[in-house]
Amino acid sequence: MKLKTIEDFFLHGHQFNLPGVSVDNVIFGFHENQLKVLLLQSLDKNIWMLPGGFVGKKEHIDEAASRILKDRTGLDIIFLKQFYTFGSPLRSNNKILVKALESLNQKYDKDHWIMQRFITVGYYSLVEYANVNPQPDEFSSVCEWYDLDPLPELLLDHKEIIYKALDEMRLNLNYQPIGYNLLPKEFTMKNLQSIYETILGRKLDRGNFNRKILSYDILDKKEKHYSGGAHKAPYLYSFNKKKYFKALENGLGRDF
Amino acid sequence: MKLKTIEDFFLHGHQFNLPGVSVDNVIFGFHENQLKVLLLQSLDKNIWMLPGGFVGKKEHIDEAASRILKDRTGLDIIFLKQFYTFGSPLRSNNKILVKALESLNQKYDKDHWIMQRFITVGYYSLVEYANVNPQPDEFSSVCEWYDLDPLPELLLDHKEIIYKALDEMRLNLNYQPIGYNLLPKEFTMKNLQSIYETILGRKLDRGNFNRKILSYDILDKKEKHYSGGAHKAPYLYSFNKKKYFKALENGLGRDF
DNA sequence: AAATTAATGAGTCATTATGACACAATGATA
DNA sequence: TATCATTGTGTCATAATGACTCATTAATTT
């Protein structure tokens, strides 16, 4: 089979005219044993949305995700995981963007790329709430942490994206260690357990959690004990950086 | 923070100019206890590549993947799984495509979308070798099954894509049933075991495999026995369609 | 027709992983 | 000094896993 005319190919039963590519970040924050998610409020104050943006011409999608994360949170180089790509044609013209453009007397005709529909590559990360100073972007008035339950009215399929990210993050607890960027250099086993419990949304048995985590062999036990709290002083642990990142790469045991 | 000019936004430290979106399918074929992968040979016969294509203007990316699968194999509605999105900027201008266009005196300037770099959403599927009649597309002369080891020289990062697909498919054996579209209505446990062994690339214990699969509760045991082979006749099984697709949706147990 | 053969069905058994729970030790607080 | 909540450690029953055994059986051979 040979190529006849280029139109033959492009219009072969389909309207080929490329959708654009954007990135949406689901940034979970860990605060007082609660999961929050970072959201932006549109300029007209009606709708919330995930921090996201277009992918630069010569930019790796992973870099675009990092850049957006940094712009919204000030955070650098942290664990960002691509979890799914959303490609429904209903993810069409970003009405918020179009509105914003119109309000500034910026108009683009239907063929301009900005008016096309977008494919969105989703990334998630889990960051320490206190380290973040949320910054709104050009299309939003507010950027802040929001409780996962209940979520406000969200743009397009952003609610679906958040739930999918949560599912994937939970699944991934069985394969990859977590907590390195969420805990101080030295921490107690209870601190770490709280993170797992918060993500999973359920309590875990203390003894069994201990056994499991220690079997991963990514922690160093300190001689020092924590003091300051009431009652018996727990041991302090730190992540063994080398083993942690090796496990992040190669995976761990399974199942919580 | 407010939007000043649109250029402000688009050029805010980055060259925004959208990459395009394409889909690449990694189609594994199961034949005589070997895994094959469907590849296309470029018109100039130098390089092999994965079947792929652009995403239509109003097309869901999942549909684009299905369409490409159907065009290359004639197969309809089978299990296609999105596994990763490849977004390196080095995935630039498809030289094969450009060459093909030039050879047909089709030229496009640098700004035409077809000359942009592409983001590729990867899908994989596992199909029955014998059901497929491979069809080359407009940019290829040959479409055929190729052994996984060794792979020929491949376009861009297509080798990486294939290995990633294989990894993901193996991981997924722990979560989703497989085999429905690979086996006749009635089959023996050995038939099914062969599929798992082929995908995993290692032998499994017969008794343990039996126990594990039956614990999934997706098979119906037939009263009839298989006859035709030498030696003791094994039971025949069939997938319980309802249970199978429920498990495909909700997941099964873990670990092989 | 009987013996042979090799794959099957159905188990056993040791080891490991998991979930639920128990209890003594401890260190701040009363 | 006694209290008390939390911690470190361990037990125990159950489930899951990996390696293996053995009688059964249907086609093939003798």
Report pLDDT digits (tens) over A215-249.
Answer: 999 999 998 787 777 788 999 999 999 999 999 99
Domain with CATH 1.10.10.10 in chain A: 189-250
Which chain B residue shows the shortest CA-CA distance from A11?
B56
| pLDDT the model gives residue A100 | 65
A198-212, B36-50, B95-109: the lowest-pLDDT one: B95-109
pLDDT in tens, B197-250: 999 999 999 999 999 999 999 999 998 787 777 789 999 999 999 999 999 998
pLDDT in tens, A158-171: 999 999 999 999 99
Compare B196 and A4 and report the one with higher pLDDT. B196
In this predicted structure, the answer to whether residue A181 has a pLDDT above a threshold of 60 is yes
A142 contacts on B by Cβ (under 8 Å): none
- Residue B232 CB lies within 7 Å of the nucleic strand C: yes
| pLDDT the model gives residue B9 | 45
Whether A23 and A61 have beta carbons less than 8 Å apart is answered as: yes
In this predicted structure, the answer to whether residue A114 has a pLDDT above a threshold of 80 is no
Instruction: Give strand letter and number of the nucleotide nearest B253 (CA to C1').
Output: D16
In this predicted structure, the answer to whether residue A24 has a pLDDT above a threshold of 80 is yes
| pLDDT the model gives residue A56 | 79
| pLDDT the model gives residue A10 | 44
Residue nearest to nucleotide C9 (CA to C1'): B234
Calculate the angstrom distance between C1' of C16 and CA of A105. Answer: 68
Q: How far is B221 from chain A (nearest CA, A)?
A: 30
A87 contacts on B by Cβ (under 8 Å): 21, 55, 60-62, 64, 121
| pLDDT the model gives residue B3 | 39
**CATH class name, domain B6-172:** alpha beta
| pLDDT the model gives residue A18 | 62
What's the distance, Cα to Cα, between the start and end of chain B in Å? 53
Residue type, A73: T
| pLDDT the model gives residue A97 | 66
Domain with CATH 3.90.79.10 in chain A: 6-172
Mean pLDDT of chain A: 85
Mean pLDDT of chain B: 85
**Selection from A59, A152, A156, A55 nearest residue A98 by Cα:** A156
From A56, A87, A117, residue closest to B121, measured CB to CB? A87
| pLDDT the model gives residue A8 | 46
Dist CA B31 CA B198 (whole Å): 9
In this predicted structure, the answer to whether residue B35 has a pLDDT above a threshold of 50 is yes
pLDDT in tens, B75-124: 887 789 999 999 988 766 566 666 766 766 667 666 666 667 889 999 99
SS3 B237: strand
Mean pLDDT (whole number) for B50-67: 89
Mean pLDDT (whole number) for A150-158: 92
Calculate the angstrom distance between C1' of C18 and CA of A207. Answer: 12
A121 contacts on B by Cβ (under 8 Å): 85, 87, 119
Whether A3 and A33 have beta carbons less than 8 Å apart is answered as: no
Which chain B residue shows the shortest CA-CA distance from A99?
B3
Residue nearest to nucleotide D24 (CA to C1'): B232
Calculate the angstrom distance between C1' of D19 and CA of B254. Answer: 20
Q: How far is A233 from chain B (nearest CA, A)?
A: 38
| B189-250 CATH | 1.10.10.10
Share of residues in chain B with pLDDT > 70 (%): 82
Share of residues in chain A with pLDDT > 70 (%): 81
In this predicted structure, the answer to whether residue A119 has a pLDDT above a threshold of 80 is yes
From B9, B84, B138, residue closest to A9, measured CB to CB? B138
Enumerate the nucleotides of strand D whose atoms come under 7 Å of any protein CB.
Answer: 4-11, 16-21, 24-28
